[in-house]
Structure 1
């Protein structure tokens, strides 16, 4: 690290940004959770379905690792999805002791419709209240936040 990266001003600015991110991401998460109606899939369930949709079949442990939660917590989420027949477990073809989760057609439909409720609200707010330049900046920020989430 060079002297500029260690400067008290930079350290203070980094901490201020980290605090602002924690607060705004928390508020964003709470607002999106409010958008999910009772009886709909929970945010953890939607997240697990979205991961399976984007990354393909996976184990419960792999999903838990990606979400940085315990395998037991992810197991409870997955059990709810299995009960609703949105995911199915099958033995791994390479290691029969491992169980691989994949989306069922109903799970695929659920992830699409679950996304649309929240995504439609976000898209509406973006279209009504943000300029094209601001939307492009938010798109860049979203990619950076994804990268930051992977590093935590």
Structure 2
């Protein structure tokens, strides 16, 4: 047995508290005009850059047909653009538009403000602990 905290106990605690945090964030509306799959696809294009519809479907673990409908709505709202892949003219690359970036930024800002409001009563020491944990949680996310 390894010394120190039990990884399974830490995993359980993180799973429970992150689930609670996510549920609480979702309980407060941000004036979303988009569905969760639309937000996920738009956020992925913002973070990762241009991609094909098939790539996005694979990354979001949904069917290409569902992703096609999602992308059609995003394009109709002017949140994404389509262009031919410069390296393979048969493929279409999707990119986030300026309007899409504004929507992602607006939504993220609303959530950041919500979390910041929740941190108002935390002590400086508690804020330092959370700040130190954030990169570790991000690293964990990339290892999953």
Task: Using structure 2 for the length normalisation, give the TM-score.
Answer: 0.79
Determine if the alignment matches structure 1 residue 105 to structure 2 residue 105: no
The 5-angstrom pairing of residues 82-101 of structure 1 reads 82-101=75-94
| Equivalent-residue separation in structure 2 for 1:33 and 1:124 (angstroms) | 15
What is residue 74 of structure 2 aligned with on the other side?
Answer: 81
* In 1: Cα distance, 2:18 partner to 2:67 partner: 22
Query: For the structure 1 residues 31 and 138, does the alpha-carbon distance in structure 2 shift closer, same or farther, using more than 3 Å as the test?
Result: same
Distance 1:64 1:20, change over 3 A: farther
1:131 and 2:123 correspond: yes
The answer to whether the 8 A contact 1:36-1:42 is kept is no
- In 2, the alpha carbon distance for the partners of 1:43 and 1:136 equals 32
Unaligned runs of 5+ in 1: 1-6
**Would you say the 8 A contact 2:50–2:95 is kept in 1?**
yes
Question: Which structure 2 residue ranges, 5 or more long, are not aligned?
Answer: none
What residue number does 2:111 align with?
A: 118
Relative to structure 1, the CA distance from residue 50 to residue 34 in structure 2 (aligned partners, 3 Å threshold; closer, same or farther) is same
Q: Is the 8 A contact 1:46 1:114 kept in 2?
A: no
Q: TM-score, normalising length from structure 1?
A: 0.76
In 1, the alpha carbon distance for the partners of 2:137 and 2:70 equals 24
Contact conserved, 2:42 with 2:100, CA < 8 A, in 1?
Answer: yes
The structure with more helix, counted as a fraction of residues: 1
SS in structure 2 of the partner of residue 89 of structure 1: strand
In structure 2, C-alpha distance between the alignment counterparts of 1:134 and 1:98, rounded to whole Å: 49
Q: What is the aligned length?
A: 143
RMSD: 2.6
